[in-house]
Structure 1
Amino acid sequence: MVTIPEISPPLPRDFGWRRNLPNLAGLDWLRAGWADFKDQPVLSLIYGFGVFGVSLATVYGFFRLDMDYVLLPALAGFLVVGPILGLGLYEKSRRLALGQPVGLFSMIFARPRAGGQVIFAGLLLCLVMLLWMRAAVILYALFFGLQPFPGLDAVTATLFTTASGWGLIIVGTVVGGLFAAFSFAISVFAIPMLLNERIDALTAMGTSMALVWNNMSVMIVWGAVVVALMTVGVVTALLGLIVIFPILGHATWHAYKTMRGDPTAARTIQALDGAEA
């Protein structure tokens, strides 16, 4: 009788995930992202305009289908699928770092080294977003019963002048925060990783979460920067996304390269520091 030996896969040690970066390392990533944006800016602007167009069409579709009640959670859920939409921006930053030619075709039709695993990851993130939106609808029903959604013009008064509204704000913030934290952790580095490495989607998501968990303070600050900039993009009637989204996309690539321990990322940031000096 042949026995199969028990195999215990090596577990990553704490020092394998920690990067000991300053809490404001995200500002360096933003500067590096801005540098990539300024290199052939028309390409990034066209890409940003495309994201703006998709976002505008989605919002218009919600109104046409009388689904304005899911508009707010959908805008928040945009942060979930954002990393997928930034794939072409990661490709531009990758090519610039390698000294390869960059074109709009290569950005839109980027060929990830992980192949179809990117599609699988995208489907998982879309499912998380749909679950988030459904949770928001259920929370509204728990606090307001079968009352119809009052519409965006009356939603502020409904939320801030009633006890049920304040309850929905508090509980919704907690639940939405948990969804946002989980989605951010599994996706922030996973999609750039799938573009650059031969790895499966679940391993990439697990690695992304491990990097976020073991570099919590840095990633909390970076997450706050992303939320703040995306909020600016939304309150400017989505027009701000034309510039903000590409810069964040390029910055995310540099965040990934730094957190994965790529020495070229550090050299890029040092070169930027030297140029400013």
Structure 2
Amino acid sequence: MITLPPTAPPLRRDFGWSRNLPVTVAFKWLAAGWADFRNRPGLSLAYGLAVFLVSIAIVAGLFRLDLDYVLFPALAGFMLTGPVIALGLYEKSRRLQRGEPVGLSAMILVRPRSGGQVIFTGVLLMLLMLLWMRAAVILYALFFGLLPFSGFADILPVLMHTPSGWALLIVGTLVGGLFAAFSFAISVFSLPMLLDERTDSLTAMGTSMALVWNNLAVMVVWGGIVLTLVTLSVAIGLLGLIVVFPVLGHATWHAYRTMRQDPAADIAIEQLDGAES
């Protein structure tokens, strides 16, 4: 029989429900992520380089298989699966915070306290990504019929200078935004939680959604920071992922520990404030 780890108790009323965090704390998470990146930067750079190379290989594979029409949904779907890919970065930040030794092997061969529940969460996010990619293809067919993809040289004029193109942009943005918001809410804190605590996947995802909903202002700002940095990385040929992805991964760990009301995380943020002043 397969034994699951004991389920974490339900959320307490004081558990991250109304911490009244200022929206500026999102930038402090980013600064804390940068600090972790600079602590043994070779490890984070190697991790980011691996993410970059895999991303380039996937993009090349899409073109090789004549699946370039799903490139944009696939790039958007990268945001859905990012928290799973960043598990090793959470581990580095966790070890740094606890003063434990950290190496590349520890970041790659991560042993989450929740065991296989991480795999279950990853599968759910992958299915969500595939659902979004299928929805994007269906939306294209709804507005342009069963015509073949015209290629990247022609797609921008079609989108920007035709009524169908504008309609696809508006509806696609709304539908994609719903997918992105939902996946962000269930994954941003669930993966760090599964790494750090013994709990099950559904409890972790529910906890993540509750934390996001009850700290909405700061999480909207944090989501905007993530979207902006990832978009800039894509705009320069994914090269920015080598640095941006590790920094965001480390920063997400600090965001999680802040939401979990970890005194060590609050002290780290205060130290950053002191260094700035």
Give yes or no for TM over 0.5: yes
Give the structure 1 partner of residue 126 of structure 2.
Answer: 126
Partner of residue 196, structure 1: 196
Task: Tell me whether 1:43 sits opposite 2:43 in the alignment.
Answer: yes
Distance 1:11 1:218 in 2: 20
**Deviation readout 1:169-204 (Å, 9 max, x if unpaired):** 011011000000000000000100000000101110
How many Å apart are 1:153 and its aligned residue? Answer: 1.5
- CA offset digits 1:108-160 (Å, max 9, x no partner): 01110000000000000000000000000000000000111111121101101
* Structure 1 residue 73 corresponds to structure 2 residue 73: yes
Q: Rg: which structure is higher?
A: 1
Instruction: Output the amino acid matched with 1:87.
Output: L
Point out 4+ residue stretches in structure 1 off by more than 3 angstroms.
Answer: 9-16
| Correspondence for 1:250 | 250
SS state of the match for residue 154, structure 1?
helix
Q: Which secondary structure does the structure 1 equivalent of 2:152 belong to?
A: coil
Cα distance change of structure 1 residues 10 and 219 upon mapping to structure 2, 3 Å threshold: closer
Partner of 1:268: 268
Which residue identity lines up with residue 134 of structure 1 in the other structure?
A: R
CA contact (8 A) 1:14 1:214 kept: no
| Structure 1 contact 190–201 (Cα < 8 Å) conserved | yes
Corresponding residue for residue 218 of structure 1: 218
What's the CA shift string for 1:12-61, capped at 9, x where partnerless? 54775222100121100001000000000000000000000111011011
Which residue of structure 1 aligns with residue 23 of structure 2? 23
Query: Do structure 1's residue 84 and structure 2's residue 84 form an aligned pair?
Result: yes
Matched residue SS, 2:153 = coil
Identity of aligned residues (%): 68
- In structure 1, the partner of 2:109 is 109
Residue 139 (structure 2) aligns with? 139
**Do the aligned partners of residues 110 and 10 (structure 1) sit closer, same or farther apart at CA in structure 2, a change above 3 Å counting?**
closer
Change (3 A) 1:96 1:59: same
> What is the CA distance between 1:276 and its match in structure 2?
3.1
TM-score, scaled relative to structure 2: 0.95
- So what's the TM-score if we normalise by structure 1? 0.95
Q: Which residue of 2 aligns with 1:60?
A: 60
Give the root-mean-square deviation of aligned CA atoms.
Answer: 1.3
Q: How many angstroms apart in 2 are the aligned matches of 1:16 and 1:43?
A: 32
Q: Return the letter of the residue paired with 2:49.
A: F
SS at match of 2:101: coil
Query: Secondary structure of the residue that 1:57 maps to in structure 2?
Result: helix
Q: What is residue 4 of structure 2 aligned with on the other side?
A: none
User: Which one-letter code corresponds to 1:94 in the other structure?
Assistant: R
Q: Which residue of 2 aligns with 1:3?
A: none
Question: Contact 1:125 / 1:183 at 8 angstroms: preserved in 2?
Answer: yes
Contact 2:74 / 2:133 at 8 angstroms: preserved in 1?
A: yes
How far apart are the structure 2 equivalents of 1:191 and 1:120? 11
The number of residues matched between the two structures is 269
Q: Which residue is 1:232 aligned to? A: 232
Q: Give how far 1:275 is off.
A: 2.5
1:239 match: secondary structure: coil
